[in-house]
Amino acid sequence: MSKQALRTDADFEALYERNWRYVYRICYSYMGNAADAEDCTEDVFVKILTGNTVFKDAEHERKWLAVTAINRCKDKLKSSAFRLTDSLDAEEAPDIAAPEKEDYSDVREAVIALPERLKAAVILYYYCGYKAEEIAKQFGRSPSTIRNLLKEARDLLREKLGGAYDVGE
């Protein structure tokens, strides 16, 4: 996409089709459930429709989407309305695990519980497949800082999960 605003519905539709899975994956990693991930994903694309966002190139487009998705999820998690409905849903929801699928919810919950300064790096690195250098560019940090954040996160996850999983290097 050239350096211009989205001019037509077809432009937006093409952008959406290229990126909705990517944005949803980030949002699901943060929110931990499909309904909230869908809401946050929708909010990201509504922001594009209602704003004057201009993307320089495909790399800028993906970076903007990742940062916007992470920020939207953080905002939603901070909101008192979300915390209230989330606790009500947890009380009402039956505790049923799908037997045919291995349950990694403890890993997801451990990642979600990471401090904010670690969580974004972990999600972008492990869930979205970015390299440390790419994450560093997105957040204006050095690659070694990102690698140190990832190491700290792995150490915390090992401690939290009690060695149940190999969190790798």
Tokens read off for 16: 């959406």
Percent of the chain having pLDDT more than 70? 76
Residue 5 backbone phi and psi in degrees, to 5: -70, 160
55-106 pLDDT, tens per residue?
A: 899 888 988 999 999 999 988 888 755 554 554 454 444 444 433 445 566 7
Residues 6+ apart with CB under 8 A from 39: 76
Chain region(s) in the chain for CATH 1.10.10.10 = 105-163
Q: Which fold has domain 105-163?
A: Arc Repressor Mutant, subunit A (1.10.10)
Residue 24 tokens, joined: 């949803």
Residues in the chain: 169
Q: How far is CA 145 from the centre of its chain?
A: 20
Residue 152 CB-density burial (10 A; 0-12 exposed, 13-18 middle, 19+ buried): middle
H-helix or E-strand containing 55? strand 54-55
Pick the CATH number of 1-93 from 1.10.1740, 2.40.40, 1.10.3470, 1.20.140: 1.10.1740
Global pTM reads 0.63
pLDDT in tens, 25-58: 999 988 888 999 999 999 999 999 888 888 899 8
Distance between CA atoms of residues 63 and 54, nearest Å:
12
> Residue 105 is which amino acid?
S
The answer to whether the CB of 37 falls within 8 A of the CB of 28 is yes
47 in Cβ contact with 53 (< 8 Å): yes
pLDDT digits (tens, 9 = 90+) for 103-157: 566 787 888 888 888 988 888 888 888 889 988 888 889 999 999 999 999 999 8
Residue 19 and residue 62: Cα distance in Å, rounded? Answer: 8
Distance, C-alpha 138 to centroid of its chain: 14
Q: Tell me where in the chain the CATH 1.10.1740 domain(s) lie.
A: 1-93
